[in-house]
Amino acid sequence: GLTPGQVSRLQLKWAFGFPGATALYGQTVYDGRLYVTSNAGYVYSLDAETGCVHWSFRAESAVRSGFSIGPLNQKDPRLAIYFGDIRGNAYALSASTGEQVWKTLTDPHPLARITGTPVLLEGRLYVPVASLEEPESGQADYACCTFRGYMSALDAATAGVAIETLKLE
């Protein structure tokens, strides 16, 4: 909704430096908070108006996925933020405090990663799981191809498997 003339008059409202990071990946604005992550493995909840930090969380590895935000379940209205890391872990954090609700490894394959945004629907969290086999297959000693992408469906409240994993054939 901005015109070219308005763009030239925009001014910086606030800035945030990502400690030890070189890239910004996922970002989502929800209810006055900006949830962001970087390649340093931290997830931040920032005040969207001021840039002040509400909380930060250190994931096991870099987080390249986007975020889904929604209730843990129908009986528990607390909001959670859902995402994945590049080691194949899926996470649920309290959206208000950043406290870890659960973490689960979606696949034990060493090159499994979550770079797509998980989708929350009716108490299930659908997590797209990919791998980094393409560049590794160029190594003479790598036995390609041992991984196929899939969609994992988890119970949003507990990370338990809600339905069978959907393998791509």
Which residues have a Cβ under 8 Å from the Cβ of 21 and sit 6 or more positions away? Answer: 38, 39, 40, 42
* Nearest-angstrom CA–CA distance, 127 and 114: 8
61 vs 147 pLDDT, higher one: 61
CA distances for 92 relative to 19, 25, 61, 67, 150, angstroms: 23, 18, 15, 10, 20
What is the distance between the alpha carbons of residues 67 and 11, in angstroms, rounded to a whole number? Answer: 28
Tell me, what's the pLDDT at 169? Answer: 52
The pLDDT tens digits for 79-101 are: 999 999 999 999 999 999 999 99
pLDDT, tens digit, 9 for 90 and up, residues 103-157: 999 988 888 999 899 999 988 999 999 988 777 767 777 777 777 788 889 999 8
Would you place residue 159 in the very low, low, confident or very high pLDDT band (cuts 50, 70, 90)? confident
CA distances 96 to 42, 58, 64, 70, 122, Å, are 16, 16, 21, 12, 21
Q: What are 3-33's pLDDT values in tens digits?
A: 988 998 999 999 988 888 877 787 899 999 9
Q: How confident is the model at residue 47 (pLDDT cuts 50, 70, 90)?
A: very high
Rounded CA separation 50/13 (Å): 8
The neighbouring-strand residues paired with 80 are 70, 94
Kindly report whether the global pTM for this prediction surpasses the value 0.95: no
Phi first, then psi: give them for residue 159, nearest 5 degrees: 75, 5
Calpha distance 168→88 (Å, rounded): 17
Contacts of 66 (CB under 8 A, 6+ apart): 26, 27, 28, 83, 116, 117
Q: Are 58 and 38 in contact (CB under 8 A)?
A: no
